[in-house]
Structure 1
Amino acid sequence: MDRPLSLQHYKAGMLLSGAGDALGYRNQLWEYNESGPEIHKELQELGGLKNITAELPDWPVSDDTVLHLATAEGLATGVSQLKPGSEGGYRVAYNPDGTGCGAAMRSMCIGLRYPRPEQLSSLVAVAVETGRMTHPHPTGFLGAVASALFTAYAVQRRPMASWGVGLVKEACPVALEFVKSRGCAVEECVRDWGYFSEKWQWYLDLRGLASGTGPAIWPDQYGPAERDEAYKSFSLSGWAGRSGHDAPMIALDALLGAGSDWEELMSRAGFHGGDSDSTAVIACCCWGLLYGLEGVPQGNHKNLEYRDRLENSAEELYRLSH
């Protein structure tokens, strides 16, 4: 990294990940609303994003932020307690259904702890091992690798059009070698490995990003209704953002389309008919690292639940990464 990112950007990344979560969640009302156009209609009835003060009791963060905080604070204070008594005691049995986005939604902070290109192997190792504690299927734990990698890329100021290629061509092969080296459920992981990379390659082809250069190719019409259909096509089973591969995929799609516009980012990443808080928590962390708090209405974050803990963990991760 030629120019270290400022502490304020680290704080913005952690804080806005929580803000995006709370806004996309809307105390379960929007997380489980399967219509993006309906969510946008309700948003306008509230007076738009600028009119929302994300604070308790109406706008709590979800489990996404609670788990992201737990991961961040664990990274900052040491994770020796994750080995209860026996070698490998922190591992769970392989589960072919462990494909969800739970590992992806909590792993952005790993990229803040290991942000440098030369730290890729450490980033991958921590993302894989913490990810498969709950999501032992590659589609699940590689989501953790994706979220961590994208925040590291944001810190590095790597061109966003190359993020997906970096995931498929650089990080996934490192992850596969790491999994083989650890000797845990290797046969099952290798058997089920292909879907994640193949679906990401499909997405890069769709957006014209397979060479790692932009600009992204967009449909002529790509409003809330069209995005709902597109995001479903990214998904494993029709629930957009529900799985480890497509939560970061929707996040990247939103980042590519929104640029520095916070409202547009939330429109794309946080207000859709899928797992909206999980896609927003990833996208907004990256966005905060890139753009800080500029252009974000104060009400969206100033009274956010766990604000102090989010900012404190950002300070610790910044200190440890420099």
Structure 2
Amino acid sequence: MEETEPSVEAYEAAMVLSGVGDALGYRGGRWEYCTSGPQIHAELAELGGLEAITLEPPEWPVSDDTVLHLATAEGLATGLEGEPLLQELARRYVAAMGDMEGRKPGPTSILGTSQLRPGEPERGRHAQPGHRPQVPPRLGAADADPGYLGALAVALFGALGARGEPPERWGAELLRVLPLAWDYVEGAGVAVGDNAAAWPFFGDAWHRYLESRGLLEGRGPPQVPPLLSPAERDAAYLGWALEGWPGRSGHDAPMVALEALLAAGGCWGDLCARGVLHGGDNDSTGTIAAGCWGLRGGLASIPPGLHCRLEHRGRLRDAAHRLHALAWGRH
């Protein structure tokens, strides 16, 4: 079957709305670190709802998520490949850490970028020889998933969304791709033991989730519970989380986002209620959920205040246009 070219507007909406989900969920750290969905929704009501908000600094900056997302997108948009691309990304990640005032980067990001050495072959793009997979430092490798598998899931979801595949299929495709990812890890020969100990958690968590939603085969309709109240959503997400913070870990940030996409359909408000505004790592889940929603829903139905004055909006738009041209042969 011939692949359908996504529009440049879909790319733009995905990039811009990823920043919207980030800034909205972050709220200068106020909502990212709030563990109560009901409190967040009460504060949103006091503000007048989503339509009354204008996302712009200083109250509504983007977080480290968007700054590093831009570093990745702009690095990929250079068209470099292989080792030159990895060196370029390392350089951009190091530079991005200079734009973290008020954005609260996590300890893993700080440590990982501090050990990058752009310009040095091989070492330049690795945090350190034999670097462990990204797992919370207080957990053993057998107790958590490698965090980069969350990035794999998000990249896959974005690619499937750009191709027009419905979210009902995304999780089953992730399970199909995981063995291919393991073949790559094993072939690379870096920290294979640590990866092998941590690896099963991710796949097992996703298998349980997809089974509970009737989506192991990638066919709908999804069996998503109503979860009408913020408190109900908080309770559900806590059941997936490590250390009591939904969306913090590699397995459950894309899981919360996918759940929101499945439940919201074409309703932006429902997408925000489920995927952005809950008692967890809101900017992370918001970046994923809103970005993926943009691939299918575009910007037309989004309240203008949420994106017209968004920090780094121009860079997000420009990166989207360059990536679309690169992917579809228009230079």
Secondary structure at the counterpart of residue 216 of structure 1: coil
Q: 5 Å matches for 1:12-31?
A: 12-31=13-32
Equivalences for residues 1-322 of structure 1 within 5 A: 2-77=3-78, 78=80, 79=85, 80-81=87-88, 82=90, 84-93=119-128, 98-99=134-135, 138-169=145-176, 171-322=177-328
Distance change in 2, residues 1:285/1:248 (3 Å):
same
The structural deviation recorded for 1:220 is 4.9
Distance 1:179 1:72 in 2: 23
Query: What letter corresponds to residue 287 of structure 1 in structure 2?
Result: W
Structure 1: segments with no counterpart, 5+ residues: 101-136
Deviations 1:189-244 (CA, angstroms, capped at 9, x unpaired): 11211000000001101112112111111335442111101111111222100001
Counterparts of 2:257 and 2:326, CA distance in 1: 26
Aligned length, in residue pairs: 285
Aligned to 1:133: none
SS in 2 for 1:139: coil
Q: One-letter code of the match for 2:191? A: A
Q: Computing the radius of gyration over CA atoms, which structure comes out larger, 1 or 2? A: 2
TM-score by length of 2: 0.82
Equivalent-residue separation in structure 2 for 1:50 and 1:226 (angstroms): 24
Pair 221,314 (structure 1): closer, same or farther in 2 beyond 3 Å:
closer
1: CA distance between counterparts of 2:234 and 2:171? 21
Cα distance in 1 for residues equivalent to 2:34 and 2:187: 42
Tell me how far 1:55 sits from its aligned partner.
Answer: 1.1
What letter corresponds to residue 51 of structure 2 in structure 1? K
> What percentage of aligned pairs have identical amino acids?
49
Deviation at 1:138, TM superposition (A): 5.0
1:279 partner amino acid: T
Q: CA deviation at 1:96?
A: 5.8
Tell me the distance in 2 between the aligned counterparts of 1:300 and 1:311: 15
Alignment-derived partner of residue 128 in structure 1? none
> Against the structure 1 CA distance between its residues 305 and 311, is the aligned structure 2 distance closer, same or farther, given a 3 Å change threshold?
same
- Helix, strand or coil for the counterpart of 1:240? coil
Deviation at 1:174, TM superposition (A): 1.2
RMSD: 1.6
Residue 180 of structure 1: SS of its match in structure 2? helix
TM-score by length of 1: 0.85
